[in-house]
Amino acid sequence: MPFDVTWYDDQHSIIEVRVYGTPTWEEYHHAIDKVTENLETAQHRVDIIFNSASGMPKGNPLPHLKVTFKKFAAYPHFGVTVASGARGPAGFTRAIVDIVSKMLGTTSQINGKFVNTMPEAVAYIHAERAKADLASVKAN
């Protein structure tokens, strides 16, 4: 299957979804189900990195992303999504994600960030966590 869903870190705070080969939307939804199973077991913030060497499956992504965004938004401890990889930052992919995000009224956590490498993705997550921690301290 062109999707591997694993914990990136020992703390189980980052889920990495590795995408390779020629994925299908059916395989994509199976991977998203695995991600939500991991989100269900966590009681702390969890961020998600889509580490893709191949991009999205062929066909209209709108209905598939819409379902995914709704699933992720249901978890209060969900952090951010980051797309990493040579094809992740493509303008078309970014435009589609922006459209779905606006349609659903989602926040930037689901809208996420597009970067080229895994180290950039992890750095972005750590920066977002630091901002959230700072905002929490200021609120108290």
Q: For 3-139, CATH number?
A: 3.30.750
Average per-residue pLDDT in the chain?
Answer: 82
Query: With 70 as the cut, is the pLDDT of residue 86 above it?
Result: no
SS3 16: strand
Query: With 60 as the cut, is the pLDDT of residue 39 above it?
Result: yes
Q: What is the pLDDT of residue 84?
A: 86
Confidence of residue 92 (pLDDT cuts 50, 70, 90): very low
Q: How far apart are CA 91 and CA 108, in angstroms?
A: 17
Confidence of residue 98 (pLDDT cuts 50, 70, 90): low
**Residue 17 near residue 4 (C-beta atoms within 8 A):** yes
Q: Where are the domains of the chain?
A: 3-139
Q: How far apart are CA 58 and CA 56, in angstroms?
A: 6
Query: With 80 as the cut, is the pLDDT of residue 94 above it?
Result: no
Please give the model's pTM, rounded to 2 decimal places. 0.81
